């Protein structure tokens, strides 16, 4: 190569290095901008239903015991759906990695039963809220860790732990045959050796792709573990004192898995970068089967590390979640750290509001007795029930209440509110409803921890006489059994029948030309009704309005409909 050729090569290398460094710098700037932009904002990442289902697997596996978990009080499907918790989760999910977003979902679905853990969550959230530099450095690590595709991190780990390692004999034989071929070529018979090289290389390539087709989908399982190990190393190198106790354990976990994850950089399954080095490495893999050998070795060694891998997921996920908690708090109008008390029948909240409703009207309540809510249609009964329930879950999961004060014991939380017919199970609305109520009754004696339950329109799926008779007895049965029940009803008769068992509260409205709701909680039973007035407000014929009014007044005066 002449002098000009050398100069051209050096120029090419300089340009390539400049482009590579510039692109790396651009990606880092973009990452930091995105991290800063997300802080204190309602999360807006589009999470499709199938992705949300994937995210939920970690919580489900923890609940069923497939993954070690100390939390036992699961927010069941009925309660979760009643409260639109998927929407709340999406608004909170500012995580940049799969381990973070999966752990956040698990935190909400399996609230902590350990108050010390809640206080630790608050401690870390407060630290990251006040230390932007450390917060951003941690989030860079999780940003690089990123999201998994198609299946969750816990699913990848489950597949890896269930996988049986293959035998490396065929791979070693392929390598030995190639070595022998070269020995024959250069030391015995060049002509025969060349044919042996061609044959042994062909055999190596054919056997390589035959084996790789079976196990390549599992390469990413090990890659996910390796990424988490590398993330743990990066967090340790940051030297954040507040995380010392976690870094110490991460360091131990990394050391425990160091041998199993050694050489795993050779497991790249595709040449995404298109670099010459990667192309050469692909040929080396085909001929030497080095990635197959490393894969089987790692599968064998990681098979005994299930506790370590799941603990690694737990610590990493928890650290990122505490930052998500801090960011969510920043997005709220106001919030407080809840106070947990030993008394089982008390709940005090001041200026509590629904976190998913813009300009929500706050309310306060101080109760040590079951609550019966009455009021007109659309006056705010259901929303208030959901507000209290959501705040109880947030308090017991992320140590955050969207109120100015929250004092209560740690509850098991159930609801029966937004139910639907079960067409697949051939259950009518009424059957679905009584099953939902029965599960609450069955849960009461399951644990000494008190139950906080929410029931909206008790037994609405049946006739008036039987509804009032049955619902009054069901609600009575909840009293005096370590239960705090919030129930809403249109049946004003229940306020008298349950007067010794429930405190009465209500919502009301003003009506001039239109019905106007103030959504403020008031003491005592409701004294107004608005169903017929609402017909008028949206334009029903005056004849229908008058006839309905006359019929209602007649029943109230005589007890007869005709």
pLDDT at 424: 55
In angstroms, rounded to a whole number, what is the distance separating the alpha carbons of residues 35 and 45? 13
pLDDT at 18: 67
pLDDT at 406: 97
Res. 209: pLDDT tops 90: no
Q: How confident is the model at residue 462 (pLDDT cuts 50, 70, 90)?
A: confident
pLDDT at 561: 63
Per the CB < 8 A criterion, the answer to whether 181 and 193 are in contact is: yes
Of the two residues 307 and 6, the one the predictor is more confident about is: 307
Res. 544: pLDDT tops 60: yes
Task: Establish how many alpha carbons lie within 13 A of residue 418's alpha carbon, considering only the half-sphere containing its beta carbon.
Answer: 14
pLDDT at 267: 73
332-337 CB contacts, 8 Å cutoff, 24+ apart? 332/402, 333/402, 334/402, 334/403, 334/404, 335/400, 335/401, 335/402, 335/403, 336/400, 336/401, 336/403, 336/404, 336/405, 336/406, 337/122, 337/399, 337/400, 337/401
C-alpha angle 506-508-513 in degrees, rounded to nearest 5: 170
pLDDT digits (tens, 9 = 90+) for 307-366: 999 999 999 999 999 999 999 999 999 999 999 998 888 999 999 999 999 999 999 999
Helices in 188-305 by DSSP H: which ranges? 190-238, 244-257, 276-288, 290-302
pTM across the whole model:
0.85
Three-state SS at 359: coil
Beta-carbon count within 10 A of 66 CB:
14
Q: Taking residues 152-161, what's their average pLDDT? A: 88
Per the CB < 8 A criterion, the answer to whether 303 and 157 are in contact is: no
Q: How confident is the model at residue 465 (pLDDT cuts 50, 70, 90)?
A: confident
- Which residue in 188, 438, 157, 194 sits closest to 308, CA to CA? 157
pLDDT digits (tens, 9 = 90+) for 92-116: 999 999 999 999 999 999 998 889 9
Instruction: Report the share of the chain in percent with pLDDT over 70.
Output: 91
What domains does the chain contain, in order, with CATH numbers? 30-151+320-331 (no CATH), 159-316 (no CATH), 339-529 (3.40.50.300)
Of the two residues 17 and 84, the one the predictor is more confident about is: 84
pLDDT at 54: 94
Per the CB < 8 A criterion, the answer to whether 352 and 329 are in contact is: no
Angstrom CA distances, 525 to 485, 488, 493, 516, 529, stand at: 16, 11, 10, 19, 12
- Indicate if the alpha-carbon torsion angle 106, 107, 111, 112 is positive or negative: positive
- Which residue in 391, 388, 371 sits closest to 489, CA to CA? 371
- What is the pLDDT of the chain when averaged over all its residues? 86
- Which residue in 323, 105, 309 sits closest to 227, CA to CA? 309
Burial class (CB in 10 A: 0-12, 13-18, 19+), 317: buried
Three-state SS at 426: coil
Of the two residues 462 and 297, the one the predictor is more confident about is: 297
Res. 456: pLDDT tops 80: yes
Burial class (CB in 10 A: 0-12, 13-18, 19+), 159: middle
Res. 540: pLDDT tops 90: no
Q: How confident is the model at residue 277 (pLDDT cuts 50, 70, 90)?
A: low
Q: Across-strand partners of 391?
A: none
Per the CB < 8 A criterion, the answer to whether 336 and 394 are in contact is: no
- Which residue in 243, 238, 240, 295 sits closest to 266, CA to CA? 295
Per the CB < 8 A criterion, the answer to whether 480 and 498 are in contact is: no
C-alpha dihedral over 531, 415, 391, 480, to 10 degrees? 100
Per the CB < 8 A criterion, the answer to whether 229 and 312 are in contact is: yes
Q: How confident is the model at residue 271 (pLDDT cuts 50, 70, 90)?
A: very low
Per the CB < 8 A criterion, the answer to whether 396 and 410 are in contact is: yes
Per the CB < 8 A criterion, the answer to whether 249 and 166 are in contact is: no
pLDDT digits (tens, 9 = 90+) for 437-452: 899 988 887 778 899 9
Of the two residues 457 and 485, the one the predictor is more confident about is: 485
In angstroms, rounded to a whole number, what is the distance separating the alpha carbons of residues 136 and 142? 10
What's the distance, Cα to Cα, between the start and end of the chain in Å?
Answer: 110
pLDDT at 278: 67
Outline where DSSP puts E strands in 326-404: 339-340, 347-352, 363-367, 370-375
Per the CB < 8 A criterion, the answer to whether 351 and 375 are in contact is: no
Of the two residues 175 and 41, the one the predictor is more confident about is: 41
pLDDT digits (tens, 9 = 90+) for 176-204: 888 888 887 887 887 877 888 888 888 88
Q: Across-strand partners of 523?
A: 505
461-467 CB contacts, 8 Å cutoff, 24+ apart? 461/428, 461/429, 461/430, 461/432, 461/433, 462/430, 464/491, 467/491
pLDDT at 213: 77
Where is mean pLDDT largest: 178-182, 387-391, 538-542?
Answer: 387-391
Res. 78: pLDDT tops 70: yes
Instruction: Report the share of the chain in percent with pLDDT over 90.
Output: 43
Res. 554: pLDDT tops 80: no
pLDDT at 510: 73
Question: Residues near 146 by Cβ (< 8 Å), separated by ≥ 6?
Answer: 96, 97, 98, 227
């Amino acid at each position: 190569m002449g002098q000009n050729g050398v100069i051209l090569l050096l120029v090419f290398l300089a340009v390539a290095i400049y482009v590579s460094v510039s692109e790396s710098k651009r990606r880092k700037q973009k990452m930091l901008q995105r991290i800063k932009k997300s802080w204190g904002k309602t999360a807006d990442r589009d999470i499709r239903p199938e992705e949300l289902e994937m995210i939920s697997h970690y919580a489900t596996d923890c609940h069923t015991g497939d993954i070690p978990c100390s939390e036992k009080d699961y927010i069941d499907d009925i309660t979760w759906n009643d409260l639109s918790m998927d929407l709340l989760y999406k608004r909170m999910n500012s995580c940049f990695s799969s381990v973070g977003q999966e752990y956040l979902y698990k935190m909400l679905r399996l609230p902590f039963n350990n108050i010390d853990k809640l206080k630790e969550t608050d401690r870390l959230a407060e630290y990251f809220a006040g230390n932007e530099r450390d917060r951003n450095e941690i989030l860079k690590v999780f940003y690089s860790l990123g999201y998994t595709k198609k299946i969750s991190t816990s699913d990848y780990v489950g597949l890896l732990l269930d996988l049986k390692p293959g035998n490396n004999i065929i791979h070693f034989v392929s390598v030995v045959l190639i070595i022998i071929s070269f020995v024959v070529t250069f030391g015995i018979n060049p002509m025969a050796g060349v044919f042996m090289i061609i044959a042994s290389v062909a055999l190596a390539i054919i056997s390589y792709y035959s084996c790789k087709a079976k196990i390549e989908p599992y390469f990413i399982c090990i890659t996910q573990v390796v990424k988490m190990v590398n993330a743990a190393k990066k967090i340790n190198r940051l030297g954040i004192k507040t995380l010392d106790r976690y870094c110490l354990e991460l360091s131990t976990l990394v050391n425990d898995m160091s041998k199993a994850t050694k050489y795993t950089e050779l497991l790249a399954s595709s040449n995404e970068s298109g670099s010459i080095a990667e192309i050469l490495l692909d040929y080396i893999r085909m001929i030497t089967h080095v990635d197959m050998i490393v894969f089987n070795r790692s599968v064998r060694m990681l098979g005994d590390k299930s506790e370590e891998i799941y603990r690694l997921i737990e610590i990493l996920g928890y650290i990122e979640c505490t930052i998500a908690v801090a960011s969510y708090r920043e997005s709220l109008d106001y919030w407080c750290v809840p106070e947990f008390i030993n008394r089982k029948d008390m709940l005090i909240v001041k200026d509590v509001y629904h976190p998913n409703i813009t300009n929500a009207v706050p309310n306060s309540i101080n109760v040590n007795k079951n609550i019966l809510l009455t009021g007109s249609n659309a006056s705010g009964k259901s929303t208030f029930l959901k507000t209290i329930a959501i705040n109880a879950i947030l308090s017991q999961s992320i140590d955050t209440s969207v109120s100015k004060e929250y004092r209560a014991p740690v509850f098991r939380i159930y609801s029966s509110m937004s139910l639907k017919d079960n067409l697949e199970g051939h259950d009518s609305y009424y059957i679905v409803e009584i099953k939902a109520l029965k599960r609450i009754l069955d849960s009461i004696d399951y644990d000494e921890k008190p139950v906080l339950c929410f029931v909206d329109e008790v037994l609405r799926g049946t006739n008036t006489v039987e509804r009032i008779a049955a619902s009054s007895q069901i609600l009575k049965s909840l009293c005096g059994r370590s239960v705090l029940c919030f129930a809403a009803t249109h049946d004003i008769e229940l306020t008298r029948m349950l007067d010794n068992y429930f405190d009465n509260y209500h919502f009301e409205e003003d009506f001039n030309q239109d019905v106007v709701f103030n959504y403020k909680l008031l003491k005592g039973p409701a004294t107004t009704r608005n169903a017929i007035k609402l017909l008028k407000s949206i334009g029903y014929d005056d004849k229908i309005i008058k006839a309905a009014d006359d019929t209602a007044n007649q029943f109230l005066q005589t007890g007869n409909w005709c």
